Structure 1
Amino acid sequence: MRQRTLRKFQTFNRIPCSSEEEVMITNGSTGAFVAACLTLLEPGDEVIQFEPFYGYHVQLLKVLGFKPKFVPLRGRSWEVDFDALRAAIGPRTKAVVVTNPGNPNGKVWQEAELKQLLRVLQEHDLWAFTDEVYEFMTYDGNRHLSLAALPSGWERTVTMSSFSKTYNMTGWRLGSAVAPAHIIEKMGLINDLIYICPPTPLQHGLAQAFDLPESYFTQLAADYDRKRSLFCEALSEAGFDFDPPQGAYYVFASFEPLHRAGIAGFENDEAACHTLIRETGIGTVPGRSFFSDPAQGRFWLRFCYAKEYPVLERACTALRNFGQRCRLKS
């Protein structure tokens, strides 16, 4: 598994790793994140999180005794404010977390952004923990690029990924990490203490997935792109405000237009979540889950369109019908 995963990091990610000693198989990408944190951080160290963030990273940092510091992304295109990033870095700051593509916002980091981020990391001697589990799911010409693939990026990056999303194995809890050998060695010791090892029988099953043809990945991206289009169109008709995601399979949408129109049940994110379940049968994640200040998520919901076509089509129909009812009320 390590040898085949090494080849994937070399070819798809273009990361300059050269030995399976630089690769570990983990209990999901979250297992890699835990091992990286406990290897490279000391209690009380600070870790930069861009927000909206993936809640698991933030909660794990807190549980493990580290302090997340937050840098908001700007505007509808989720741009990085590098002045704000530099201002957030202090003497205890040791790492920056990058989720690329992003969860919940679907942001795909561009090469210029990654290069600028790398300069900041070098200036302050910081590590990057990059979570790249949705790397095969990008749209509209956006191309996934690993920070560790940039010149001098490899030396200060732990790149983490998951097989679950790419091969539809959610629940198998298999992931991977790649970093310089001396870091992977220590991460392996931590992993052995916490998890012992990823399940061996599942690794044998996963090995078969590495023989899938290139057409599998092309079709994967095409299917998700079609699902994105179907769902975004219905979501727009229902009155939500958003930019289509550049990657992953979530839509982070604002329902503030519904609130302004006086539609009952959209006073805040939790109320909107319950309203949609009742009115459409669609479950969402309240926006407050993705911000350090819950008030920032008041008018936001995260939707997931990683569903079978019949299920997704029923959801789209329910959203359109809901939107029509809202228009009649207003």
Structure 2
Amino acid sequence: MTLRTPVQTRSKLPDVGTTIFTVIGELSARHNAINLSQGAPNFACDPGLVAGVTRAMAAGHNQYAPMTGLQALKTRIADKIATLYGTRYDADREVLVTASASEGLYAAISGLVHPGDEVIYFEPSFDSYAPVVRLQGAKPVAIKLNAPEFTVNWDEVRAAVNPRTRMIIINTPHNPSGQVLSAHDLAELAAITRQTDILILSDEVYEHVVFDGAAHHGMATHPQLAERSVIVSSFGKTYHVTGWRVGYCVAPAELMEEICKVHQFLMFSADTPMQYAFAEQMADPQSWLSLAAFYQRKRDLLQSLLVDSPFRLLPSAGSFFLLADYSDFSEESDSALVQRLIVEYGVATIPLSAFYTDGTDNKLIRLSFAKDEATLRAGAHALCQVKPR
């Protein structure tokens, strides 16, 4: 039986239900569908990483880590960022190890955004940004990227900025479009925020997954933006261990102080054994420098396998994702098509409309290539069989 409460509740997020990822996951499980939907690898991580966790556990590192993270790991993070992007963060005061990148995003928004503030973000977007802003009593302001290129219209951003604007949320490489910001984009963002109190929250969890020899134009590459930015990244995405739920963020000390005030009451500290293992793994720069080529091979394989499919693939400049346009062969909504793909063809994808608060339907679905070769081949084979409706 279902237990019922006599207590009257008032939801803070009355229009938020089960996420599309859960819905698609449940439908996929019922039909044993091939998983091209979830941005989580289905292949093993480096065995040395698992061994590192095991060693840490055996050595007794099973209690709370320091609140901001293990010093050795924070130092590795600071050194990596300085080497790659040219900005040096103080490992003691400006680096925070978080219990997932999602926790880092939440702590940053909660610590720095106040009731009545406005937060600009770009759609399609990762689904947590707007709800977390709303939980602070603030207003999320969505600006749509220009489809199908998914570029930023900076004139629209300028028009949206007002005295209540507290934060702009950036995501590069971008989930779900696979696009990346350019040096020109950073210059535009810097010009808009110059001589303001606007903060930047930059979701850079795919920072090491940028393709075709291009550079990652993150906030730490631009001194003016680094001064007002909180940058969030993910060990789970970098090391194929999304279930370990460890990430980090970096920010100027004054901003980090406020983020840590929230973090200490959310989690206090991230998982200790994993932090020891990540500190060991980061001793080898190839553990992240090799990632772009690794995922580019997967992108290229999936693209080649879908050449004869009815779908038209959009370019992917980074991340784990490709967008596929089906407007040439169907007028179905993207949600209807995704459900048909699961039920009739046994392959799971994600409708792009799920990444818009207003359900914008551009006749695009998202495919994840963060999968082993067998899964990519099987999923592509199924998609090549799709018939018009």
TM-score scaled by structure 2?
A: 0.77
Residue-by-residue CA offset, 1:64-112 (whole Å, 9 max, x unaligned): 3321111111143222111111111122111101001000001111111
Q: 1:46 to 1:235 in 2, by over 3 A?
A: farther
Match of 1:11, SS state, is helix
2:378 aligned with 1:314, yes or no? Answer: yes
- Kindly state the Cα deviation for residue 4 of structure 1 after the two structures are TM-superposed: 1.3
The answer to whether the Cα contact below 8 Å between 2:123 and 2:144 also exists between their aligned partners in 1 is yes
Q: Aligned residue for 1:155?
A: 227
2:95 aligned with 1:95, yes or no? Answer: no
The answer to whether the Cα contact below 8 Å between 1:234 and 1:319 also exists between their aligned partners in 2 is no
Q: Aligned residue for 1:223?
A: 294
Q: How does 1:98-117 map to 2 (within 5 A)?
A: 98-117=170-189
More helix per residue: 1 or 2? Answer: 1
Q: Aligned residue for 2:42?
A: none
Residue-by-residue CA offset, 1:109-150 (whole Å, 9 max, x unaligned): 111111111110115431100010101111123210222321
AA aligned to 2:361 is: G
- Kindly state the Cα deviation for residue 304 of structure 1 after the two structures are TM-superposed: 0.7
AA aligned to 1:274 is: Q
Match of 2:298, SS state, is helix
Match of 1:256, SS state, is coil
Q: Aligned residue for 1:257?
A: 328
Q: 1:179 to 1:238 in 2, by over 3 A?
A: same
- Kindly state the Cα deviation for residue 298 of structure 1 after the two structures are TM-superposed: 5.2
Gaps of 5+ in 1: 261-266
2:46 aligned with 1:46, yes or no? Answer: no
2:363 aligned with 1:299, yes or no? Answer: yes
Of the two structures, which has the highest relative contact order with CA contacts closer than 8 Å and spacing of 6 or more? 2
2:252 aligned with 1:180, yes or no? Answer: yes
Match of 2:85, SS state, is coil
Residue-by-residue CA offset, 1:291-321 (whole Å, 9 max, x unaligned): 1221x2252211111001111111122222x
CA distance in structure 1 between the partners assigned to 2:238 and 2:293 by the alignment: 13
The answer to whether the Cα contact below 8 Å between 1:96 and 1:126 also exists between their aligned partners in 2 is yes
CA distance in structure 1 between the partners assigned to 2:86 and 2:361 by the alignment: 36
Q: How does 1:167-206 map to 2 (within 5 A)?
A: 167-206=239-278
Q: 1:55 to 1:236 in 2, by over 3 A?
A: farther
Q: Aligned residue for 1:263?
A: none
Aligned residues: 317
TM-score scaled by structure 1?
A: 0.90
2:309 aligned with 1:238, yes or no? Answer: yes
The answer to whether the Cα contact below 8 Å between 2:113 and 2:133 also exists between their aligned partners in 1 is no
Runs of 4+ aligned residues of structure 1 deviating over 4 Å after TM superposition are none
Gaps of 5+ in 2: 1-72
Q: Aligned residue for 2:348?
A: 283
Identity %: 32
